[in-house]
Amino acid sequence: VNISQNIFHHDELFTIGVEEEYMLCDPDTGELINRADEIMDLLEKDLKPRYSYELILSEIEVNTSVCDSVNMAMKEISYLRNNTRKLGEKLGFRIGISGTHPTARCKDQSFVQNDSYNWVVEQLSYYAKRNVTFAMHVHIAVKDEHYAISIANALRQWIAPLLALSTNSPYFEGENTGMRSSRIMQFGVFPRTNIPMRFENFNEYKILVDNYLSSDTITKPR
CATH number at residue 23: 3.30.590.20
The answer to whether residue 75 sits within a structural domain is: yes
The answer to whether residue 34 sits within a structural domain is: yes
Coil, strand or helix: which one is 172?
strand
The answer to whether residue 178 sits within a structural domain is: yes
The answer to whether residue 23 sits within a structural domain is: yes
Cβ of 181: how many Cβ atoms within 10 Å?
A: 19
Q: How many domains does the chain have?
A: 1
CB 172 within 8 A of CB 100: yes
pTM above 0.95, yes or no: no
The answer to whether residue 209 sits within a structural domain is: no
> Predicted confidence band at 193 (pLDDT cuts at 50, 70, 90)?
confident
CB 16 within 8 A of CB 69: yes
The pairs formed by 194-203 with CB atoms below 8 angstroms and a separation of 24 or more are 195/156, 195/159, 196/152, 196/156, 198/153, 198/156, 199/149, 199/152, 199/153, 201/146, 201/149, 202/4, 202/145, 202/146, 202/148, 202/149
Q: What CA dihedral angle connects 194, 195, 196 and 199, to 10 degrees?
A: -160
Residue 114 pLDDT > 90? no
66-78 per-position pLDDT tens digit: 999 999 999 999 9
User: How many Å apart are CA 217 and CA 221, to the nearest integer?
Assistant: 11
Average pLDDT over every residue of 105-124: 89
The answer to whether residue 4 sits within a structural domain is: no
> Predicted confidence band at 82 (pLDDT cuts at 50, 70, 90)?
very high
The answer to whether residue 158 sits within a structural domain is: no
The answer to whether residue 151 sits within a structural domain is: no
> Predicted confidence band at 192 (pLDDT cuts at 50, 70, 90)?
confident
Q: Which domain holds residue 41?
A: 13-145+167-198
User: How many Å apart are CA 138 and CA 95, to the nearest integer?
Assistant: 20
Letter for the amino acid at 125?
S
